[in-house]
Amino acid sequence: MDLLKQRILKDGKCLGNGILKVDGFINHQVDPLLMDACGQELARRFAHVGATKVLTAEISGIAPAVMTARHLNLPVVYARKTKPITMPDQVFLTLAPSHTKGRMVELIVSPEYLAGGERVLIIDDFLATGATINGLVRLAQTAGATIVGIGTLVEKTFEGGREALAYLGVPIESLAVIRSMENGQIVFAED
């Protein structure tokens, strides 16, 4: 998706160790019109999968997931990393490694909002190693739901997430696919 790729080239920053800083338009400051366009494009790519719910993880997944869900007219659930007092005692919980925190974090979903029979489209900001998304997959499968697709804004192919999720046999779509960030140079897969 050219709009996103151009913005990454303009405002993204390679911080080394494969870290792409997109805090100016995705992760801390959000460009809502860009995010809406990304949501529209992800919705278009997954229009055929028959999803009944969008699932993401707080925090950075919320904006793209809500925008995608808006265009699909579906509810979106974001997995919490701490259990709020409004959640029942019995929950779906899994652990996933956090890049930014350098430790395992909990991903928690209430059974009230993720049920057997749901067809779940997972949306997140990044597809890197696939560890967070695989955590969401485990939550959905524990609930008895079926994964029908995985969509992200930015994929870093050199971290192997697509291979780690291939066992699911579902479509995986990313709007900007980066195949290399060596020497601080962003190279997209189509280039």
Total of chain residues touching a copy of itself, rule CB under 8 A: 42
62 near a copy of itself, judged by CB under 8 A: yes
47 near a copy of itself, judged by CB under 8 A: no
101 near a copy of itself, judged by CB under 8 A: yes
Residue 75 or 166: the one with the smaller Cβ distance to a copy of itself is: 75
89 near a copy of itself, judged by CB under 8 A: no
Which 142-171 residues touch a copy of itself, going by CB under 8 A? Answer: none
d(CA 141, CA 163): 19
28 near a copy of itself, judged by CB under 8 A: yes
42 near a copy of itself, judged by CB under 8 A: no
90 near a copy of itself, judged by CB under 8 A: no
d(CA 152, CA 169): 16
Q: What type of residue sits at position 74?
A: L
Rounded least distance, CB 188 to a copy of itself, Å? 20
| Phi and psi torsions of 167, nearest 5° | -55, -20
Are 122 and 172 contacting, i.e. CB atoms less than 8 angstroms apart? no
Q: Look at residue 188 and give its three-state secondary structure.
A: strand
d(CA 22, CA 111): 33
Residue 58 or 106: the one with the smaller Cβ distance to a copy of itself is: 58
Rounded least distance, CB 169 to a copy of itself, Å? 27
10 near a copy of itself, judged by CB under 8 A: no
DSSP string, 124-180: EEEESSSHHHHHHHHHHHHTT-EEEEEEEEEEEGGG-HHHHHGGG---EEEEEEEEE
The residue written with tokens 């997954």 in the block is 46
d(CA 136, CA 57): 7
Given the rule CB under 8 A, which residues bind a copy of itself? 15, 19, 21, 23-25, 27-33, 35-36, 58-59, 62-63, 66-67, 69-70, 73-78, 80, 82, 84-87, 99-101, 109-110, 112-113
